[in-house]
Structure 1
């Protein structure tokens, strides 16, 4: 069954004017052509849409229902034209992605360039924040989409697994732990550490685990990023805990020994989070689908 939007508009013009003649004139048609088009609509749906009178036309009950639906369809048609016109004119769409430090430094620099090349009208604003702050912003509605650590409670949000993001211990090549391949935090907690600044969510999770063991980690130095930590550790200042992906990336620059950390807290995941994925704007839904399609490539 085919519907012609021109015929729907003609029908609505006739309804609006109460006259086949005036409706035809508004649609720039002859009365005969307009009459034939309305007759085809009636034949298509096997109903009478109008009753004819000397003073004009009136809607039948079927015609009233048809008018309501035709009005909705015309409104949707106009909305579709407006939305598509924005794309045709190259009007940019802005996406704000909130992400923790691991997501920003280790995953997104590789994933985002292809997406931006394929979608030239998209602009992405990355906002680095701690996972707990991102969760609160999503809950309040001040953020729409975020990449967070599974370490933090996000049960009240919708989350989808984006990537494994385990933590490893790094130490100098000649450190006394150089022969170890896997250890629990309890066996290394007494060594001097190099850490991130206190406000980092990763640092918070490490210190929470230390407190559960009854220890307070002793930091010789705190630094703002993983590259700085790796350089200092390689020079023999202490040991550190960083994401495995960062350790692999930095190993080509700094000689380091990696030790797997046991425990669920260390084998964390990155989660794509939103309050409701189905209610996100279309641009955000499209971007979310892209990120999740790259899940296998982003996993370690």
Structure 2
């Protein structure tokens, strides 16, 4: 049994207009061609779809059921076209992914290259921001998809867990904190720090926590990335806070001690967030599915 989607659309046009003639016109075919196509549909299913009247046509009971299924099939067909469109060689999609510092430096540089190689017609623009700003952008509609920290309230958004992403404190091997296994931020706030540049979202989050404790962090040096921070800390300049994933990666390059930080703000998760994942453009849904399939733990 072969089903022609053009015939289904013709059938729905006839219903919408209440006329075989007008349905044919809307489908841009002749009345005779339209009549033959409908006749073949009726023969194929051994049913009558319409009852003919002087004022036009009306659906039979079988025709009403057929109309419901035809609408579903056409909706699925259009969805299939949209999903497949991102693979077409002459179709380019631009996706903007908002992300915090940790996602930008520790996850996406490893994930996105193979994704982009497999999908040469997708372009990704990464926009780094603090989680609070990403949430506001998603609320306002200026952002469609973001990787955010679970520490911030995002209950009004749809979120899916992407990865555990705890923060740790690192210190020089011979530092007085070297024997500690766990610490609260308040216990180290008076030590000199090495940090990221002020514009980094993670640095803003750390400083916000210090302010809530009534302190201001004293920095001996600010640097642009975690690699530079690890090198300076290993040389004995100060202590620093960074994602555990970054510390684990860098400890093979630079000698420093790693200490767990207590508190919800530090034992965070990375969440993929959107207002409504089902309403996202197909290219965004495709990227979302890819990111969630990686299941980082």
Structure 2 CA distance for aligned equivalents of residues 227 and 271 of structure 1: 24
Cα deviation 1:195-243 (Å, max 9, x = unaligned): 1223433223323333343332221122222122112212211111111
| In structure 1, C-alpha distance between the alignment counterparts of 2:215 and 2:42, rounded to whole Å | 86
Structure 2 partner of 1:51? 52
- Provide the aligned length of Structure 1 versus Structure 2: 285
Instruction: Name the structure 1 match of 2:123.
Output: 123
Kept after mapping to 1: 8 A contact 2:197/2:203: yes
> Could you tell me the TM-score, scaled by structure 2's length?
0.80
* Residue of structure 1 equivalent to 2:27: none
State how 1:34-73 maps to structure 2 within 5 Å.
37=40, 40=43, 44-45=46-47, 47=48, 49-51=50-52, 58-62=56-60
Deviation at 1:140, TM superposition (A): 0.7
Report if the CA contact (8 A) 2:5-2:74 is conserved.
Answer: no
1:173 lines up with 2:161 in the alignment: no
| Residues 1:17 and 1:195: Cα distance change in structure 2 (over 3 Å) | closer
Q: Residue in 2 aligned with 1:92?
A: 92
Cα distance between partner residues in 2 of 1:226 and 1:18: 65
Task: Name the TM-score, length of structure 1 as normaliser.
Answer: 0.80
Give the alignment of 1:69-218 within 5 angstroms. 79=78, 83=82, 84=84, 87-218=87-218
2:265 maps to 1:265 = yes
Q: 1:88 to 1:111 in 2, by over 3 A?
A: closer
16, 24, 28: which one aligns with 2:21: 16
User: Structure 1 79/155 Cα, relative in aligned 2: closer, same or farther at 3 Å?
Assistant: closer
Shift of 1:168: 0.9
Q: Which has the larger radius of gyration?
A: 1
User: Cα distance 1:8–1:103, how it changes in 2: closer, same or farther (>3 A)?
Assistant: closer
Question: Do the aligned residues in 2 keep the contact of 1:7 with 1:37 (CA within 8 Å)?
Answer: no
Unaligned runs of 5+ in 1: none
More displaced stretch, 62-71 vs 224-233: 62-71
Could you report, residue by residue, the CA deviation over 1:155-179 in whole angstroms, capped at 9, with x for unpaired residues? 2211111111111111111212222
How far residue 137 of structure 1 moved from its aligned partner, in angstroms, is 0.9
Contact kept? 2:173, 2:256, Cα under 8 Å = yes
- Alignment gaps of 5+ in structure 2: 25-29
Q: Deviations over 1:48-89 (max 9, x none)?
A: 624387xxx941343985897699589759856964567444
- For 2:107 and 2:86, locate their aligned partners in 1 and report how far apart those are by CA, in whole Å: 31
Moved more, 270-279 or 108-117: 108-117
